[in-house]
Amino acid sequence: MLEGHGDDLHNVNIELKANFSSNVYHGGCPRKLMNFLQENLLKINNYPSPVAHELNVLAAGFYGLNENAFLFTNGATEAFYLLGHVLSGKTASIVVPTFSEYEDACLSNDISIYRIEENELENVETDCVFICNPNNPDGKIWSSDFLWSLVQKKPHVHFVIDEAYIEFTKHVTSFVEKTQLCQNLTVVRSLTKTFAIPGLRLGYIISNGSFIQRLKGKKMPWSVNAMAVLAGTFIFHNYATLRFDLSLLLDEKEKLWAAIHALDGLECRQSSTSYFLIKLHHGKASELKEYLLINHQLLVRDATNFKGLEGEYIRVATQGSERNELLINGLKSWSKN
């Protein structure tokens, strides 16, 4: 799916008041990081290192793992396509509804896919499984104890756990360290959502050293550009001070969720993250999206193309209080139609 699964801001020709369609942190790139990148812009005159190994060294120090446990990629999406390349010709289970790039990466690499529901996961017997934790689009979380027991019980199944949004919840324990305790576990992380740099494309894979070597054997050189390497370097040196205030974000989410859930014809799904699904009891998600865009200059995500999601849904990601109020008012007007 070459259109990708981020927001579709590139298709919007009007000036927006707020973009609720992207799960990237609404506060934007931290000013210190932006200044650092501007000061080092001339680094684009030089090639980056072929596999961004300097980021491996920093990530290893950050997590307390061996530097050979990491592989940096052009966003998390390259990671999934690279995994698909290595697992080509095998079978994969995907717990739906979820991020569509798992399926696209599998199909483009001749991997037979099986869409399964949550209650089917315990009995899975495919070669690999893709799990998003916390999940996109609904913000659902998986029990760490449950997932770890599955990984241990099924050593013949390779589990790929996407933790791209782990810093948008308080209820998920990372499996990064557990990747070093077994041979059938890979974690994918992203730096673009938390630090609001999706245009730079920077993600990374964590797994056992032998599997990382297999992935490196299929990876193209220089996929992580010079500015992304610089951004990653600055982030790992300043991680704690650059992160957003999660408690404040989740407090705003609860207010937004409650206000929308109280509106006629709209039902908010429970979520442990700052983004959540809204089910429409009447009308179509595409119509609501167009209404908010044209009449209120607000962009939301039409979520009806998430496979395994029955009904008409939009997805919204929490913004600041003033922008959230704009969305509430726009949805109030829609609900009265």
Q: What is the pLDDT of residue 309?
A: 92
pLDDT at 13: 75
Q: What is the mean pLDDT of each run of 10 residues along the chain (337 residues)?
A: 54 87 96 98 95 98 98 97 97 96 96 96 96 98 97 98 98 97 98 96 98 97 97 98 98 98 97 98 96 96 92 97 98 91
Residue among 332, 287, 276 nearest 309 (CA)? 276
Of 225, 192, 141, which is closest to residue 7 (Cα–Cα)?
192
pLDDT at 328: 98
What is the pLDDT at residue 6?
Answer: 52
Coil, strand or helix: which one is 17?
A: coil
Alpha-carbon torsion angle 189, 29, 67, 216, nearest 10: 60
The whole-number pLDDT of residue 10 equals 61
pLDDT at 117: 93
Contacts of 21 (CB under 8 A, 6+ apart): 7, 8, 9, 299, 300, 301, 315, 316, 317
**Mind listing the domains of the chain with CATH numbers?**
9-27+245-335 (3.90.1150.10), 31-241 (3.40.640.10)
pLDDT reported for residue 14 = 85
Structure tokens at 112: 């037979």
Per-residue pLDDT, 2: 45
pLDDT at residue 96, rounded to an integer: 96
> CA dist 298 to 19, 22, 197, 270, 277, Å?
6, 12, 21, 22, 16
pLDDT score for 336: 85
Q: Is 225 in contact with 200 (CB distance < 8 Å)?
A: yes
What three-state secondary structure class fits 103?
Answer: helix
